[in-house]
Structure 1
Amino acid sequence: MTPHFTTLTPVRKRCVIVLVLVLVPCVILNLLTPSDMREEAVLQNSIAELQAKLEHLHAKYISSQEEINLLSHQLLQLIESNHILPDLQLLINNGTSNVTNIKLPSIYNFLPHFLNDPNSLRPAFVQSKGRSGVSMVLGVPTVKREVQSYLMATLKNLLDRMNTAEIADTLIIVLVAETDIDYVTYVAKQIEVQFPNECEAGVIDVISPSLSYYPNLSKLRDTLGDDHQRVIWRSKQNLDFAFLMSYAQTKGTFYVQLEDDILAKKNFITTMKSFALQKIGTKENWFVLDFCQLGFIGKLFKCVELPWLIQFFLMFYNDKPVDWLLDHLISTKVCSLDMDHKHCKMAKAELWVHYKPSLFQHIGTHSSLKGKVQKLKDKQFGKITLFYAHENPEAIVETQIKPYKQYTLQKAYKGESFFWGLLPQPGDHLKFKFSHPIFIKKYLFRSGNPEHPSDRFYNTTVEVLAEVSPLLDRNSNDVTEDGYVIIGKFDVLGVAEGTIDRKLGKVSVLRLTIHSESENWAILSEIHIIEDQPS
């Protein structure tokens, strides 16, 4: 005989209730089809995204209220100084009777030099199409580097690692943290020339701060036992990040701090967005999602929470490096004075969530701090591809350019490594003499690689020696003095690719010719010559 529920003891009742609470959801879950579960996951993701956007709109509302309060404060000051029309004064008095204002500290208390110039908090340069309302805002600060710049290679990599939908939902903000407006304009023009479609579509903004944004850096206090030059470098970096975040905070839902010398993994935007929305959907209370183990690279924040960082960086910019300040801010939020290191670390881990494997890798060797060489690598990122191997037509290869160690042109052509040549000079050639004349359908030469993006071929042409050159005009600019036909050249990103018309005939030799002296070594990381087979 089965006992009735009402006849069970209290302990047995609780056991039955627990079994029901555990088993019923399991039964319902088993009844759901994979399609139902996918639809539920999509719905949860959409709800999380709407919640994040709602927080963003609320932050905009707070910002507008702040502006209204500031305007009201200014009007009250005019009343007190009797510089206002009587009717308007009566109206304001009626609305502000029995109100006592308390003036809160502002950023001017920490950086009073801002008061010297009303334009100190305005960008000195802006190149923008006004894109906003995106999911992802990527902040890329850059400065003039003495040895080599990685910026263009970094932007190219970021864009190549996004699909069309990701690009449409992303804004990249390049902060040229220099006050030399000629240099800023030069960098902006370079970006515009190398990424015309993205600039036209509003994917890339370029900004720079005004000279009056910075305090007198020579008068900074020396802290942490660092030499004065390093104190200036890290203090300016804190100010640069605060400026970049201030510009970015109204542009989108999430903000990701990057640097100008990194590599990203494919579809990194989708990965970061999905991870963030998952955390929001499960109502986890995070402050930073960390997609790279190095420094301040790959740190994702909600745009609505950037004011925490901006204020903190501006208050303590002279005291500690940016990544230390982030750690201190989170410690302040969750660690009490009587908490031991172990429990403090566990509490911080709930706000500072690490994602594995890393989505970004640091590639720069030469720091923006003069004389500093850094070989920091994120071991979780995985192996970086330094060259691409292809099966090329049989050929004898030769060059006057001296190879570095074992990085020969022969190995590069066979797909065993990359070619690394020492300081190419005008008139140097890289020749590929085919074992028999062939029709060439396509060619691709890629110079530089992720670890040495500036070691490219500059001002270099691609030329062929056709077996039969039908009525070639020797005076034409397309034909060299020794009979080679110029069919292409390396672009500003160090890539040469194209097709060869069969009308030109079979090719016995293909060569690359350098026309100007290079300050760098040169890497050929990809050689791909595709033979045009008869149909």
Structure 2
Amino acid sequence: MGLSLSPLRRRHVLFGLILIFLPCTVFILISTPDMTGEEALVERLAELQLRLQHLDAMYRAREEDVQVLSHHLSQLLSDSGNLTSLSAEARYLLNNTSGRLLRLPSAYHFLPHLLLSPSSLRPALALSKGRTGVSTILGVPTVKREVQSYLLSTVRNLIESMNKSEQDDTVIVVLIAETEEEYVYSVVNDIKIHFEYELNSGLVEVIAPPASYYPEMARLRTTLGDSPERVRWRTKQNLDFAFLMMYAQPKGMFYVQLEDDILAKPHFVTTMKTVALERITNKKPWFVLDFCQLGFIGKMFRCVELPWLIQFFFMFYNDKPVDWLLDHLIHTKSCSLDKDTKHCKKAKEELWIHYKPSLFQHIGTHSSLKGKVQKLKDKQFGKVRLFVPHANPDAIVESEIKCYKQHTLKRAYLGETFFWGLVPTPGDRLTFSFSRPLYIKRYVFRSGNVEHPSDRFYNTTVEVLPSVSPTANYESFNYTSDGFVIIGKFDNMGLADGPVDRKLGPIKELRLVVHSESDNWAILSEILIEPDVKR
């Protein structure tokens, strides 16, 4: 009796799993009308093959755990002299699974400080419903930024770019790569407020590494002629990515590395999965599928192959930036020393597949490296929409907030651009006086945009002035001292969206009123005042 399965026995187990899953394959084949029967079956079998590879990798990981544990237990019992007290079966198991193990290098070889704390490779914080077995894991690392954070806007965009079936088959893992507890919990609270449903459903997970995971940054070697600050920044990024990949690796089939300041195209998950399964079905080799031409954004890997990359990061975390290390790994896997550069480039392109047009765009301008401004844009992505135009009713518009250049409130109201004003102050008003009173069905004021997500209206109310004098029917409304009715306010995401009660009658003026100081400028990227045409 042993603790591991023979290769033949393992194949029998995996074949049994294929038979178990085959009915699911037939069901999906029947329920997919937009594909031919043969295409659907081939793609499903490719996906099933990948899932079985994932199960096999998890089995091997557990088998290694058993071997290591039995070795430590045997050593402990031998040292204490209690081995004779075990049953004959237990002694047999230990004697046949321990002995002198040849140990492969692990994280502890390259980061020996991890041995000082048993919890170094365990998240210090983890908000998770434990969703596993999905097709795609999206890794979103975030760090404290000096100027503005794009995290909430990025996560919201990722969610809104997926349909229901994509959301059910995906996990978004946010890594708060900081060790300052106050900051970590402030980000956690923001995510809980804005993504409560997604956290409860298992779509979004949040983790943070322990402080003991990182080496002593002041003692890093200076390499590539970089400043000590830059060496610390890129070293930490290597370790952050490795931690995130280790956490995500057991959860599904594909892992996609993203950043916290990006914009995604609609249905990007389906597109990526389709490309990956097509190559697997046609037995085309690949190590990374690249869905963005910038840095490490939009890089897709098979989860079963992530250990290659994680180990490489641990070996050279102090030496080079993360995107360089990926390139070197591909070079090592594909290039031959007796071939020229042209041959090497062609060989690398067989493992590093570039997909066009790009599915992700980098929108941040301020790097997490202090003082670094980067206006990197992926030209393959296409034009990013910064405002949503609407045809609004005739009105005279006025703003007490000074506009920036040609981004006036009037042009924004006409749908020609977005309004961009300098820092709002308490009491500032934006007014819309209609040429004739009208019933209003709905209003939408969306602040901020993808390039400036923090330029929002905070603590700002939406107010209307009815054309009819107040009567008893108005007692339930909240009035201002000058006769306006408060009908709404901007939420934490900078959106004011709601109906206008018909009891108010025709409206002759609508305004936005700022009630507190702001640290940022203010953008209105969408203005919609929808008349009630039934009246």
User: TM over 0.5: same fold?
Assistant: yes
The residue type paired with residue 110 of structure 1 is: F
- Number of the residue aligned with 1:353: 353
The residue type paired with residue 187 of structure 2 is: V
Distance in 1 separating the partners of 2:337 and 2:497: 62
Q: State whether residues 462 and 488 of structure 1, in contact with CA within 8 Å, keep that contact through their aligned partners in structure 2.
A: yes
- Number of the residue aligned with 1:330: 330
Q: State whether residues 123 and 208 of structure 2, in contact with CA within 8 Å, keep that contact through their aligned partners in structure 1.
A: yes
Range moving further from structure 2, 67-76 or 402-411: 67-76
Cα distance change of structure 1 residues 37 and 456 upon mapping to structure 2, 3 Å threshold: closer
- Number of the residue aligned with 1:4: none
| Aligned partner (choices 53, 57, 62) of residue 59 of structure 1 | 57
Which one has a bigger Cα radius of gyration? 1
- Residue 487 of structure 1 and its aligned partner are, at CA, apart by 0.5
The residue type paired with residue 527 of structure 1 is: I
Give the match's secondary structure for 1:81.
helix
Range moving further from structure 2, 259-268 or 493-502: 493-502
Cα distance change of structure 1 residues 207 and 482 upon mapping to structure 2, 3 Å threshold: same
Distance in 1 separating the partners of 2:533 and 2:77: 87
- TM alignment of 1:19-418, pairs within 5 A: 38-88=36-86, 91=89, 94-95=92-93, 96=95, 100-418=100-418
- CA-to-partner distance for each residue in 1:143-191, whole Å, 9 max, x for gaps? 1111000000001110111111111111000000011122212211111
The residue type paired with residue 379 of structure 2 is: K
Distance in 2 separating the partners of 1:153 and 1:478: 32
- CA-to-partner distance for each residue in 1:422-441, whole Å, 9 max, x for gaps? 01111000100000000000
Q: State whether residues 469 and 504 of structure 1, in contact with CA within 8 Å, keep that contact through their aligned partners in structure 2.
A: no
Q: State whether residues 168 and 203 of structure 2, in contact with CA within 8 Å, keep that contact through their aligned partners in structure 1.
A: yes
Distance in 2 separating the partners of 1:501 and 1:185: 39
Percent identity over the alignment? Answer: 63
The residue type paired with residue 62 of structure 1 is: R
The residue type paired with residue 122 of structure 1 is: R
Moved over 6 A (4+): 472-477
The residue type paired with residue 384 of structure 1 is: V
Distance in 2 separating the partners of 1:83 and 1:199: 50
- Number of the residue aligned with 1:12: none
Give the match's secondary structure for 1:249.
helix
Distance in 2 separating the partners of 1:37 and 1:104: 46
Distance in 1 separating the partners of 2:469 and 2:305: 67
The residue type paired with residue 49 of structure 2 is: Q
- CA-to-partner distance for each residue in 1:456-498, whole Å, 9 max, x for gaps? 1111111001111433799988211111111011111111100
The residue type paired with residue 71 of structure 2 is: H
Cα distance change of structure 1 residues 138 and 469 upon mapping to structure 2, 3 Å threshold: farther
Cα distance change of structure 1 residues 417 and 68 upon mapping to structure 2, 3 Å threshold: same
Distance in 1 separating the partners of 2:465 and 2:51: 60
Distance in 1 separating the partners of 2:395 and 2:233: 51
Distance in 1 separating the partners of 2:367 and 2:456: 20
Cα distance change of structure 1 residues 36 and 181 upon mapping to structure 2, 3 Å threshold: closer
- Residue 91 of structure 1 and its aligned partner are, at CA, apart by 4.7
- Number of the residue aligned with 1:16: none
- CA-to-partner distance for each residue in 1:371-430, whole Å, 9 max, x for gaps? 000000000000000111110000000011110000000100000011000011110001
Give the match's secondary structure for 1:488.
strand
- Residue 281 of structure 1 and its aligned partner are, at CA, apart by 0.6
The residue type paired with residue 489 of structure 1 is: K
Range moving further from structure 2, 406-415 or 335-344: 335-344
- Residue 82 of structure 1 and its aligned partner are, at CA, apart by 3.3
- TM alignment of 1:459-470, pairs within 5 A: 459-470=459-470
Distance in 2 separating the partners of 1:527 and 1:94: 76
- Number of the residue aligned with 1:10: none
The residue type paired with residue 223 of structure 2 is: T
- Residue 534 of structure 1 and its aligned partner are, at CA, apart by 3.0
Q: State whether residues 366 and 373 of structure 1, in contact with CA within 8 Å, keep that contact through their aligned partners in structure 2.
A: yes
- Number of the residue aligned with 2:516: 516
Give the match's secondary structure for 1:293.
coil
Q: When the two structures are superposed, what TM-score results if normalisation uses the length of structure 2?
A: 0.91
Distance in 2 separating the partners of 1:187 and 1:162: 23
The residue type paired with residue 57 of structure 1 is: L
The residue type paired with residue 66 of structure 1 is: E
Give the match's secondary structure for 1:516.
coil
- Residue 299 of structure 1 and its aligned partner are, at CA, apart by 0.2
Q: State whether residues 83 and 91 of structure 2, in contact with CA within 8 Å, keep that contact through their aligned partners in structure 1.
A: no
Range moving further from structure 2, 432-441 or 97-106: 97-106
Distance in 2 separating the partners of 1:435 and 1:220: 68
- Number of the residue aligned with 2:437: 437
The residue type paired with residue 415 of structure 1 is: G
Give the match's secondary structure for 1:175.
strand
Distance in 1 separating the partners of 2:35 and 2:457: 52
Q: State whether residues 469 and 505 of structure 1, in contact with CA within 8 Å, keep that contact through their aligned partners in structure 2.
A: no
Q: State whether residues 463 and 510 of structure 1, in contact with CA within 8 Å, keep that contact through their aligned partners in structure 2.
A: yes
Distance in 1 separating the partners of 2:338 and 2:387: 53
Q: State whether residues 473 and 503 of structure 2, in contact with CA within 8 Å, keep that contact through their aligned partners in structure 1.
A: no
- Number of the residue aligned with 1:478: 478
What is the count of residue pairs matched by the alignment? 502
Give the match's secondary structure for 2:511.
strand
- Residue 517 of structure 1 and its aligned partner are, at CA, apart by 1.1
- Number of the residue aligned with 1:526: 526
Distance in 2 separating the partners of 1:152 and 1:36: 35
- CA-to-partner distance for each residue in 1:248-275, whole Å, 9 max, x for gaps? 0011111000000000000001000111
Distance in 2 separating the partners of 1:227 and 1:520: 31
- CA-to-partner distance for each residue in 1:205-264, whole Å, 9 max, x for gaps? 000000100010011001000000000000000000000000000111110000000000
Give the match's secondary structure for 1:250.
helix
- Number of the residue aligned with 1:9: none
The residue type paired with residue 175 of structure 2 is: L
CA RMSD of aligned residues (A): 1.8
Cα distance change of structure 1 residues 37 and 237 upon mapping to structure 2, 3 Å threshold: closer
- Number of the residue aligned with 2:5: none
- CA-to-partner distance for each residue in 1:262-300, whole Å, 9 max, x for gaps? 000000010001111111111111110000000000000
Q: State whether residues 474 and 481 of structure 1, in contact with CA within 8 Å, keep that contact through their aligned partners in structure 2.
A: no
Give the match's secondary structure for 1:324.
helix
- CA-to-partner distance for each residue in 1:92-151, whole Å, 9 max, x for gaps? 654436954323322211111001111111110011111111111000000111100000
- Residue 77 of structure 1 and its aligned partner are, at CA, apart by 1.5
Give the match's secondary structure for 2:328.
helix
Q: State whether residues 445 and 528 of structure 1, in contact with CA within 8 Å, keep that contact through their aligned partners in structure 2.
A: yes
Distance in 1 separating the partners of 2:133 and 2:513: 47
Distance in 2 separating the partners of 1:392 and 1:108: 63
Distance in 1 separating the partners of 2:455 and 2:522: 4
Range moving further from structure 2, 257-266 or 107-116: 107-116
The residue type paired with residue 111 of structure 2 is: L
- Number of the residue aligned with 2:20: none
- Residue 37 of structure 1 and its aligned partner are, at CA, apart by 6.8
Distance in 2 separating the partners of 1:448 and 1:44: 45
The residue type paired with residue 452 of structure 2 is: H
